[in-house]
Chain A
Amino acid sequence: MTSTALVLAAKEFEDAARSRLLWGLTLVLLVVTVPQFHGMTGTSIIDGPVDAVAFFPQTFMNYVAPLAIIAAYRAVVGERESGSLRVLFGHPVTRRDVVVGKVLGRAALVALVLFVGTLGLGAVVFAVYGTLPVGLFAVMATYVVAYGVVWAAVTVGVSAAASSRLQAIAGLLGLFLFFGPFRLWSTVSVPLASLVFGGGPADGIDVLDPGTWPWWYPYVQRVNPMENFEMAREFVAGIAAPSVGSLGGPAVNAFGFGILLTWAIVPLSIGYWRFELADLG
Chain B
Amino acid sequence: MSTAAPCHAVAHDAVLPSGTLTSGFVLLRDMTAIRIDRLSKRFGDVAAVRDVSLTVERGEVFGFLGPNGAGKSTTINVLLDFVRPTAGDISVLGHDPRREPRAVRERLGILPEGYGLYDRLSARRHLAFAADLEASDDDPAAILERVGLADDADRPVGGFSKGMRQRLALGMALVGDPDLLVLDEPSSGLDPNGTRTMREIVREEAERGATVFFSSHVLDQVEAVCDRVAIMNDGELVAVDSVDALRTATDSASTLVVSVDEVPTDHGLGDLDGVTDVTAGDGSLRVACSDPAIKAAVISRVESAGASVTDIDVEETSLADVFAAYTDESTATEVDA
Contact = CB atoms under 8 A, between A and B. Distances in A.
Interface of A: 3-4, 7-8, 11, 14-15, 18-19, 79, 82-95, 277, 279-281
B20 to A, nearest CB: 28
A84 B106 contact: no
A223 to B, nearest CB: 36
Given A19-B120, A281-B74, A92 B82 contact: no
B25 interface: no
A275 to B, nearest CB: 12
Given A4-B133, A279-B84, A281-B74, A84 B105 contact: no
27 contacts: A3-B135, A8-B133, A11-B121, A11-B129, A18-B120, A18-B121, A19-B120, A86-B82, A86-B115, A86-B116, A87-B112, A87-B116, A87-B172, A89-B82, A89-B101, A89-B110, A90-B109, A90-B111, A90-B172, A90-B182, A91-B133, A91-B134, A91-B172, A94-B102, A277-B84, A281-B77, A281-B82
Contact of B173 (A82, A85, A90, A279): A90
Given A11-B129, A18-B121, 13 more contacts: A7-B133, A83-B112, A85-B82, A86-B82, A86-B110, A87-B116, A90-B80, A90-B110, A91-B134, A277-B84, A280-B83, A281-B43, A281-B82
B118 A84 contact: yes
Given A14-B121, A281-B74, A281-B77, A94 B101 contact: yes
Contacts of B84: 277, 279
A264 to B, nearest CB: 26
B105 A87 contact: no
Contact of A79 (B108, B112, B116): B116
Contact of A7 (B106, B111, B129, B172): B129
B2 to A, nearest CB: 27
B229 interface: no
- Place the interface of chain B in its size category: 35 or more
A84 B133 contact: no
B81 interface: yes
A85 B118 CA distance: 11
Given A19-B120, A281-B73, A281-B77, A91 B83 contact: no
Given A279-B83, A279-B84, A280-B82, A90 B118 contact: no
B130 interface: yes
B115 A87 contact: yes
Main secondary structure of the interface of B (DSSP, over half): mixed
B212 interface: no
Nearest to A19: B120
User: At the interface, is chain A mostly helix, strand, loop or mixed?
Assistant: helix
Interface in B106-138: 106, 108-112, 114-118, 120-121, 125, 129-130, 132-135
Nearest to B107: A92
A86 B105 contact: no
A205 B26 CA distance: 72
Interface string B282-307: 00000000000000000000000000
B169 interface: yes
Contacts of B81: 89
Contact of A89 (B43, B105, B121, B132): B105
Nearest to B182: A90
Contacts of B74: 281
A11 B172 CA distance: 15
B31 to A, nearest CB: 23
> Which of B116, B121, B169 neighbours the largest number of chain A CB atoms within 10 Å of its CB?
B116
Contacts of A86: 80, 82, 110, 112, 114-116
Indicate the member of A4, A277, A281 with the most B CB atoms within 10 Å: A281
Contacts of A11: 118, 121, 129
Contact of B133 (A15, A92, A95, A281): A92
Contacts of B133: 4, 7-8, 88, 91-93
A79 B119 CA distance: 12
A138 B135 CA distance: 38
B112 A90 contact: yes
Interface string B121-160: 1000100011011110000000000000000000010000
Contacts of B176: 91
Contacts of B129: 7, 11
Contacts of B108: 90
A19 B119 CA distance: 10
A105 to B, nearest CB: 12
